[in-house]
Amino acid sequence: MKLILLGAPGAGKGTVAKLLTKMDGSVQISTGDILRGAVAAGTELGKQAEAAMKAGDLVSDDLIMGIMEERLQQDDCKAGYLLDGFPRTIPQAEALKVLLDKMGEKLDCAVEIDVPRDVILDRLTTRRTCTQCGEIYNVKSNPPKVEGVCDKCGGPVVQRDDETEEAISNRLNVYNEQTAPLVGFYKNEGLLLSVKATSSDAVIDAIKEKLGQ
């Protein structure tokens, strides 16, 4: 399947994407994970993205489109992909449309995961992330077995730099201003599936129903 996952930070895009990869071998492509990897590795891309990310602002559309053009042409994408955190702006959505047309590919749908703001805030302040493999934990509902150590890869599990209260509030504002308009964009394209749900399983069920699986 070829899906876009839309939703505020903390809506559960990453969790849903990971569950979907187990269904049919589609790959999860998270621009946030790619960028965090680049920052950790100290690459040129990482240096260009670091300051915006730390503040909870968006990285430039040009930088993101450069990453995604390359990524979507890799072999593992032939099995399908779940775009998590991309597109994030109308220009990115338009550029993606042109790119997919050029590649002769079509999206199955764009899923909006709609979660109330209070739930989002609670999740983001209690969220912890493995810096090595990107696995997501929650100090209240899903802590790693050993505090600070990833169950999967043994890497360090920490609170992200952009998960301070100030950066979180900025990320939510940025989402409302720049990313929320994508819901209308994909509605116009006839691709929108909007799911009001706080459980990932409910989101997965809605997607399966929509795709007739």
Interacting residues toward ligand ADP by CB under 6 A = 9, 31-32, 35, 52-53, 56-59, 64, 85-86, 88, 92, 162, 171
DSSP structure string for 46-90: HHHHHHHHHHTPPPPHHHHHHHHHHHHTSGGGGG-EEEES---SH
Element (H, E) at 110: strand 109-114
Q: Is 131 in the site for Zn ion (CB under 5 A)?
A: no
For residues 184 and 208, which CB has a smaller minimum distance to ligand ADP in the complex? 184
- 5 interface partner picked from ligand ADP, Zn ion, none, CB below 5 to 8 A per type: none
Tell which one of 132, 138, 194, 198 touches Zn ion (CB under 5 A).
132
Residue 210 Cβ vs ligand ADP, minimum distance, rounded to whole Å: 22
Question: Which of these, 144, 145, 172, lies nearest to 158 by C-alpha position?
Answer: 144
Question: Which of these, 100, 114, 107, 109, lies nearest to 175 by C-alpha position?
Answer: 114
Q: Is 135 in the site for Zn ion (CB under 5 A)?
A: yes
- 52 interface partner picked from ligand ADP, Zn ion, none, CB below 5 to 8 A per type: ligand ADP
Q: Is 133 in the site for Zn ion (CB under 5 A)?
A: yes
For residues 138 and 211, which CB has a smaller minimum distance to ligand ADP in the complex? 138
Tell which one of 117, 152, 196, 208 touches Zn ion (CB under 5 A).
152
Element (H, E) at 136: strand 136-138
**Interstrand relation of 127-130 and 136-138 (parallel, antiparallel or unpaired):** antiparallel
For residues 1 and 39, which CB has a smaller minimum distance to Zn ion in the complex? 39
Residue 75 contacts residue 22 (beta carbons within 8 Å): no
Catalytic residues: 13, 88, 127, 160, 171
For residues 33 and 211, which CB has a smaller minimum distance to ligand ADP in the complex? 33
Q: Specify which residues 157 forms β-bridges with.
A: 130
Helix (H, G, I), strand (E, B) or coil at 204: helix
